[in-house]
Amino acid sequence: MLQYLAKRLFFMIPMIFGITLVSFAVIHLVPGEPGMLEAEMNPKITKEARERIRAFYGLDKPLHVQYWTWLKRIVRFDFGTSFATDRRPVIDKIKERLPITIVINLLSMGLIFIFGIPIGVYCARYKDSIVDKLLTSFVFAGYAAPTFWVALLTMIFFGVYLEILPVSGIKSYDFQDMGILGKVADIARHLVLPVAISAVGSLAGISRYMKSSLLEVLRQEYITTAYAKGLPEKMVIRKHALRNALLPVITILGLSVPGLIGGSVIFESIFSIPGMGQLFYFSVMARDYPTIMGILVIGAFLTLIGNLIADVSYAVADPRIRIG
């Protein structure tokens, strides 16, 4: 087991470098340069000023030199300074965006599991019943409908028409004057729509997973045995079937770790949530190389870690994998 772990960890190192190299190359191949996009075609900006700004960012050096400089910094966990005109450390920018994205993703992941697993179990148990079909249609409709469209519809309904929930943002205009309870309620009100909508889109995945995996288990002979020895159905499903059927869910859980920090661009833009998705999008639009690379590296690292955790916990949970 330990040897396995060490091997996995060792192979992560070249993988990380590979990822950074490819992302660095791809980003620099995109036309346009930082600090310049808005300055493009502006008569007030002279050619000398342009050259000066390029030199300031070190963009006049060859690409491999730029990569090397970046790499030397990154191994010391220094993400550098943003190329956006605010010139702030990348790590600060990520730090102030991270909490809200993690909160929303955790909440919606919680919702997905709370609703997705029971839906899956129910659909497996009462396969082909009317309710199963209704639930399946509902989760698939949620999956198929474009997020931005559902978001706008709910915003119009709850925000503009009923006026019971705020349309966008995470804080009201008078947030700083509220008491602690008021602040919590205010943020909660703002989070209802974004969390609900991000959860609805992913319900389909987890509930289908749950359903098919449970159906598989229910066909096993030991389930028949359990029934045969006279256990009530509740017990059979809860004690014998569900436990085994939950195994694949671990994998999904592991794979969702990187998703925790990567917010969705569309959805964060629509709800004006200052999260990671927005930061990444604006950085790409502004060709802010250090910020893009910072987010990519963290994302890549978390993906690899998530995979590792999934594999390891899988091995822990399932003796067949551990021994075999």
Partner 1 sequence: MAIITKKRLVLLFFLCFALLLSCGKKKDAALYDDPGKPAYGDMIITGSIGEPSNLIPILASDSSSHEIASYIYNGLVKYDKDLNIVGDLAESWLISGDNLSITFKLRKGVKWHDGRPFTAKDVMFTYKVTIDPKTPTPYSGDFKLVKKAQILDDHTFRVTYDRPFAPALISWSSAILPRHLLEGQDITSSPLKRKPVGTGPFVFTEWVPGDRVILTANPEYFESRPYIGRYMMKIIPDTATMFLELKNNSIDMMGLTPLQYVKQTNYPAFQREFNRYKYLAFAYTYLGYNLKHKFFQDKRVRQAFARAINKKEIIDGILLGQGIEATGPFKPDMWAYNDNVKKFEYNPEKALALLKEAGFQRGPDGQMRKDGIPFEFTVLVNQGNTVRIQSAELIQRRFSEIGVTMKIRVLEWATLVNDFIDKRNFDAVLLGWTIPNDPDLFDIWHSSKQGPKELNFTSYENKEIDELLVKARHTMDKAGRKKYLDRIQEILAEDQPYTFLFVPYATVAVHRRFKGIDPGPAGIMYNFIKWYVPENQMRYRINAAVSR
For partner 1, the closer CB: 45 or 315: 45
Closest Cα to residue 87, out of 35, 164, 36?
A: 35
Q: How far is the CB of 262 from partner 1 (least distance, A)?
A: 16
Q: How far is the CB of 32 from partner 1 (least distance, A)?
A: 3
For partner 1, the closer CB: 250 or 276: 276
For partner 1, the closer CB: 191 or 298: 191
C-beta separation of 151 from 196 below 8 A: no
For partner 1, the closer CB: 11 or 56: 56
Q: How far is the CB of 284 from partner 1 (least distance, A)?
A: 11
Q: How far is the CB of 298 from partner 1 (least distance, A)?
A: 18
Q: Could you list the residues that contact partner 1 (CB under 8 A)?
A: 30-32, 35, 37-50, 52-53, 56, 84-87, 93, 96-97, 152, 155-156, 159-160, 163-171, 173-174, 176, 185-186, 188-189, 192, 268-272, 274-275, 278-279, 282, 287
Q: How far is the CB of 198 from partner 1 (least distance, A)?
A: 15
For residue 99, give the H/E element and its range: helix 90-125
For 143, residues 6+ apart whose C-beta sits below 8 A from its C-beta are 201, 202, 203, 204, 205
Point out which residues pair with 89 in neighbouring strands: 81
DSSP 201-263: HHHHHHHHHHHHHHHHHHTSHHHHHHHHTT--HHHIIIIIIIHHHTHHHHHHHHHHHHHHH--
* Helices and strands: H and E segment counts in the chain: 15, 0
For partner 1, the closer CB: 8 or 189: 189
